Structure 1
Amino acid sequence: MKSEAGILKFLDKAFWAVWIALPFLIGVRVYFGVTSTHFNAGAGACAGIPIIDFSLQGKILAGVFIGVNVVLYLILLGCMHSLIRQFSRGSLFVEATLNSMVRISVLLLAWPFFQLIFLNLTSYVLFVLGDVSDWKLQYSLDLSLITSGMVILALRLVMSQAIKLHQDAQYTI
């Protein structure tokens, strides 16, 4: 029991270290996004011109794209940190933990689809603006995020059943 508590406290401290390093990490992401010759690492359609050379509308659109992705990472990081803090406080099998797990799993399940649609829309608008020379429909999904969301949702269902079984056991004489 002490080792699990130690691991949870270590994870909580690790999350605080990530929060402290977050300005640097966001700065690196923005710098890479602005100076890279690829709009997105998986989007070959936008290869060739860095964002810094786009038109003003293209720079704003690309900035919004990068900003939305950063905000989604921040939301996910906040939900995960909240869940770890609940676990470290001993709140394992309570409704708040289950709700946090649902939020995380929904975000992980929806994010790849949202990101794919947003990437295609952004790339197409950049093509229409003339900031990129060609446009190809991107159709690759991040299956690891979808799988992670499904695993967390399955764990949430198992924890929900464990809570029900524990409550039933308490009422049995």
Structure 2
Amino acid sequence: MWWLAVGHSQVGGMLAQVENKTPTEWMKVCDRLGSELSTTATVRRMRRILSLSYHDLPYHLKACFLYLSLFRERYEIKRGALVRRWVAEGFVGSGCEWTPEETTDKYLDEFVGRSIVTPTWVASNGVVKCCNVHDIMLEVMMENCMDENFLLAGKPKQACPPAACHGDGNRA
């Protein structure tokens, strides 16, 4: 993994050399860097390996995995709010043994155990109260969302296609 440290120092050096530090110039650097990262063979291999995290999941966890892509990178996701969202979306039904909330807690614990999410706050009893998604894992989630047609992503204020809108498709 020495190449990762070298890569970090190279990127840092490149960023330090930006002369005109305007938002436009930073966006140019970001675009160049992003396109390079997406084409690097090592990064492609790493994404394929991380994609196994999704493909290896039991069916009942896949929608919950994809739902995590709604949160921006490093956003602190509160356990209670996430549990309520998954239940409200219908990703978790009532099982014989557990309530939907208990089932969802088990799902989140599974994601922590698989390193799909990173705990950011753990209570004294060991329960993860907040977590986030690493940026590279978020990219993998987004790729899987596109493959599964799970989310419709668009620009703000962009009209959604009538078939994708909830309701009758008429917008006010």
The TM-score with structure 1 as length reference comes to: 0.29
Higher share in strand: 2
Answer 1 or 2: higher relative contact order, Cα 8 Å, separation at least 6: 1
